[in-house]
Amino acid sequence: MLRKLDTALFALLCCAGIVHAQTLPDVALPAVEKPLAPPPTREALAVAVLADYRYDDLLWENDLTAHRIYGHALEAAEPPSGSGIDSWGKNVAWPFADRQLRTGDQHAYHGEGLDFYNVGTSRGAGGLGIWYDNKLWTSRNFIRHRILSSGGKLADFEVDYAPWPVSVDRKVWETRRFTLPLGSHFTRLVSTISSDKPEPLTVGIGIGKRTTGGNGELTIDRSRGLLSWWGPEDGTHGRMAVAIRVDPRTIIDVGQDADNHLVFVKVTPDQPFVYYSGSAWNKGNGGFRERAAWDRYAANEQLDFTGR
């Protein structure tokens, strides 16, 4: 019966915690190396967790997707370390990332998900930088965090990035808020970039090109403010899918640098702007087994670009 479920119905069942990817016979999951410790609950929750045991990684996830950004302490431990966004695959509705990271082997499959997305110094799944003189100038890892909501229907937190140079001409710094509700693959990001000069900025928001090996396939839809990436097959790990959505009215251009696919938007210092970063695992929750299904979802999700 489950073989006949369409993608939309499967996604609803995943959100409700009724099924997950392991119940579908067409999904060949990696071998389980060692099961995780049992979860405290199998309830679908949206959580944000500071992993102070692992150089202040900040984890957030809901029933469909999981992510990580890196704390300042990691810069000395694992150089070079950058401010890109990491994305994990998951195939259970309940939180798993903290238990996965505590194993010290988060890149292996322990039965609930895994991290095989290699951010490196790229922007990963929706990191940003300032585009100036044909180059993307990026911050280092976040220096402060504030968790606003965790453990219910919403993961919500803020981080601060220390000032960084844009060539020799100016300096910028950023506060960014991340909000991920249950039932969506998209995290809402509200970025406020300040500067020592008042002139507008060109911000490049990126998707890493080679985070799972090869280049993957990119879909661009400027009318919807969409960059959608379908990653290459990475052995038994499968594929990761990533999408960025911005307000189409703010787009200056779409382009790339050596490491990233980029959408460029015009930003005024000290004025917040909204964008969205989404991701999915083709063997995980959501049921996105083909590129076309991910592209449709990413293009048609109803998103709010107004306010904070």
- Interval 58-115: pLDDT, tens: 999 999 999 999 999 999 998 888 999 999 999 999 999 999 999 999 999 999 999 9
**Burial degree of 134 (CB within 10 A; 0-12, 13-18, 19+):** exposed
CA distance 18 to 183: 13
List pLDDT tens digits, range 2-14: 333 444 444 444 4
d(CA 72, CA 196): 23
Give the tens place of pLDDT for each residue, 255-302: 999 999 999 999 999 999 999 999 999 999 999 999 999 999 999 999
